[in-house]
Amino acid sequence: MGWWHIRQAARAMHQGGVIAYPTEAVWGLGCDPFNETAVQHLLKIKRRPMHKGLILVASSIQQVKPLLDNLAPEELQRVTASWPGPVTWILPDPDNLIPAWVKGNHSSVAVRVSDHYHVRSLCEEFGSMIVSTSANYSNQLPARDRLKVIIHFKNKVAAIVPGRLGQLDRPTSILRLDSEEPVRS
C-alpha cells in the first residue's frame, strides 16, 4: 500500500469527501468530523440516522487529548492503558468539543486511538481524528472485503484506500467509564 492512496484519501476528506478504508475488523467509512456537510453525506450514504452518533478514530492520544482533560486520573489511566488498540471508549464531552452531528443525541462521544496501520496513517496524514463507521447500510452486515465496498459504495465515496483488515473477527469493543460491562464486546 503506497502513501499515495493515504494522501489522496486525506485530501478528499479535507475537501469534504467521504472515504472507505480498512480498519481492525471491518471496512469503514470516514470523513472530517468537523465538516457537517461531509458527516451528513456519510449518514445519507449509510442510511443511518444522526441521533445514533458516530465513532471517532485517532492515530495518537495527542489527537484526542482535549477530550481527556476532564477525566479523573484513574479514568485517564484506564482509557490510555488500552490505547493504541482496538478499544473504543465513550468519553464525556462537557465542553462540547465535538459537534452534535457526530455525537447524535448523546452528550458523550465514542473515541478510539487505533493501532491499525491504515487508520493511523489516515489520521496522521489528515492531521486529526476522523469519523469511523462500518461500511454498510444500516441494519446490514459490515463489509469485510474490498469487493463489497466497491460494489456498494464506489460511486458514493471520494476514495477507497486499498489494504488489509486487522486481525479482529468482529468490530472493536466499546466501553464506558461508568461501567465494567461493555456496550459492545
Task: For residue 125, give the nearest of 2, 3, 21, 1 by alpha carbon.
Answer: 3
The DSSP secondary-structure symbol of 51 reads G
The two counts, helices (H) then strands (E), for the chain are 7, 8
- Domain extent listing, the chain: 3-176
Given a cut of 50, the residues of the chain with pLDDT beneath it are: none
| Alpha helix (H) residue ranges in 21-178 | 36-46, 61-68, 73-80, 100-103, 117-126, 146-153
What is the C-alpha to C-alpha distance for residues 39 and 180, in angstroms, rounded to an integer? 31
In this structure, what C-alpha cell is assigned to residue 169?
473477527
Q: What is the pTM of this model?
A: 0.93
What is the C-alpha to C-alpha distance for residues 171 and 18, in angstroms, rounded to an integer? 20
CATH assignment of 3-176, among 3.90.870.10, 3.40.605.10, 3.40.1160.10, 3.30.70.20: 3.90.870.10
The pairing of beta strand 108-113 with beta strand 55-58: parallel
The predicted pLDDT at position 139 comes to: 85
The predicted pLDDT at position 184 comes to: 67
| Alpha helix (H) residue ranges in the chain | 3-14, 36-46, 61-68, 73-80, 100-103, 117-126, 146-153
Grid cell 456537510 — which residue? Answer: 37
In this structure, what C-alpha cell is assigned to residue 117?
496501520
